[in-house]
Structure 1
Amino acid sequence: MLEYDEKRNYIRMEIDCDVTYRLAGSDELHHGRCSSISGAGVSFIADRLFDPGKAMEINVIPKNTVTPSMTAFIEVIRSAQQDDGSYEVAATIKSIKGD
């Protein structure tokens, strides 16, 4: 058995579900796909590049109705263009919005 030393504070979970996102202070809503999430961060596919430090609101929408959606305030860490022209955005979760 291979040993693995996890260096993250929170385990990252690979997921595939819809997200909506918008820049802080904007009403312009965009749609994307969430690719991973942890207790401290999120990664999603967007239609444009976002500069590091940008504040955003994201709503992660699970595929099943058992798990509720999650709305969080995030800060972009990095954004990288993918082969298909979309952008993978990695961000730190700053807070989770309550009901």
Structure 2
Amino acid sequence: MSQTGRDYSEKRDFIRMRVDADVVLIHEGDQVSAVCIDLSSSGMQVEAPRSFKVGDRLYVSIDSEHSALSGLEAETEVVWVKAQEGDSQKLGLSILKMK
């Protein structure tokens, strides 16, 4: 099947990379440890132990485990939220700017 014949969600899933990396989310000066589940060129899915809401701006920092590679730092915006057990959430973050 050609790329144009695939529906949008399949195209999105095709370019996502599963990461499972520890991240730090910074929101209004507060630092929160979280886990990046997957990453694409335009966004990421993160599981966080506290509540955020759609529209929140988060600064995301992912350290590299390899000394030859720099980590990832990005300004993001929460575009969707899905509650998990307890107070944790899965968040869809759109990358606004890479540092």
TM normalised by structure 1 equals 0.79
Q: Give the whole-Å Cα distance in 2 for the aligned partners of 1:95 and 1:51.
A: 19
The aligned residue for residue 49 of structure 1 is: 51
Q: What CA distance in whole angstroms lies between the structure 1 residues aligned with 2:41 and 2:74?
A: 11
Tell me which of 76, 91, 98 is aligned to 1:96.
Answer: 98
Alpha-carbon deviations, 1:30-57, whole Å to 9, x = none?
1011100000001111011211111110
Cα distance in structure 2, aligned partners of 1:83 and 1:29: 21
**Match for residue 72 of structure 1 among 74, 78, 86:** 74
Report the Cα distance in structure 2 between the residues aligned to 1:63 and 1:17, rounded to whole angstroms.
10
Give the number of equivalent residue pairs.
94
Kindly report the root-mean-square deviation, in angstroms, between the aligned alpha carbons of the 2 structures: 2.5
- Higher normalized helix content (fraction of residues): 2
Contact kept? 1:20, 1:58, Cα under 8 Å: yes
Separation in 2, partners of 1:45, 1:92: 14
- SS of aligned partner of 1:29: strand
Looking at structure 2, the residues matched to 3 and 55 of structure 1 have their Cα atoms a distance apart, in angstroms, of: 36
Q: Structure 2: which 5+ residue stretches go unaligned?
A: none
Verify the 8 A CA contact 1:49 1:80 in the aligned structure 2.
no
